Amino acid sequence: MTFLAPQTQTSIEFAADLIRHSKHAVILTGAGISTPSGIPDFRSSGTGLWSRDEPLEVASLITFRTKPGQFFEWFRPLALQMYEARPNPAHLALAELEQHGYIKSIITQNVDTLHQKSGSKTVIELHGTMQTLTCTQCYHQVQAEAYIASFIECGELPRCPKCAQLLKPDVILFGEQLPQSAWFKAQKEARGCDLMLVIGSSLEVLPVAGLPMQALDRGAHLIIINNVPTYLNVRADVSILEDVATVLPAITERVLNG
Give residue 236's domain range: 1-39+87-127+178-258
Q: Are residues 134 and 219 in the same domain?
A: no
Q: Check 21, 127, 140, 221 and give the catalytic one.
A: 127
DSSP secondary structure string for all residues of 182-226: HHHHHHHHHHH-SEEEEES----STTGGGHHHHHHTTT-EEEEE-
Tell me the HSE value of 103 on the side-chain side, using a 13 A CA sphere: 27
21 is catalytic: no
Q: Are residues 250 and 153 in the same domain?
A: no
Cβ atoms < 10 Å from Cβ of 163: 12
Task: Answer yes or no: are the C-beta atoms of 137 and 165 closer than 8 Å.
Answer: yes
pLDDT at residue 43, rounded to an integer: 52
pLDDT at residue 180, rounded to an integer: 95
Task: Find the farthest-apart pair of alpha carbons in the chain and give their distance in angstroms, rounded.
Answer: 61
pLDDT at residue 247, rounded to an integer: 97
pLDDT at residue 253, rounded to an integer: 97
Domain stops at, among 171, 194, 226: 171
Q: Are residues 159 and 184 in the same domain?
A: no
Q: Are residues 191 and 217 in the same domain?
A: yes
By CB atoms closer than 10 A (0-12, 13-18, 19+), residue 160 is: buried
Q: Are residues 138 and 186 in the same domain?
A: no
pLDDT at residue 154, rounded to an integer: 87
Mean pLDDT by 10 residues, the chain (258 residues): 82 98 98 93 52 66 92 89 94 98 97 96 96 95 91 91 95 92 98 98 93 98 96 97 96 94
CATH of the domain at 149: 3.30.1600.10
Q: Are residues 99 and 164 in the same domain?
A: no
Q: Are residues 94 and 28 in the same domain?
A: yes
pLDDT at residue 54, rounded to an integer: 61
Long-range contacts at 210-217 (CB < 8 A, ≥ 24 apart): 211/28, 211/107, 211/186, 211/187, 212/28, 214/187, 214/190, 215/26, 215/190, 215/191
Domain stops at, among 171, 202, 228: 171
Q: Are residues 7 and 49 in the same domain?
A: no
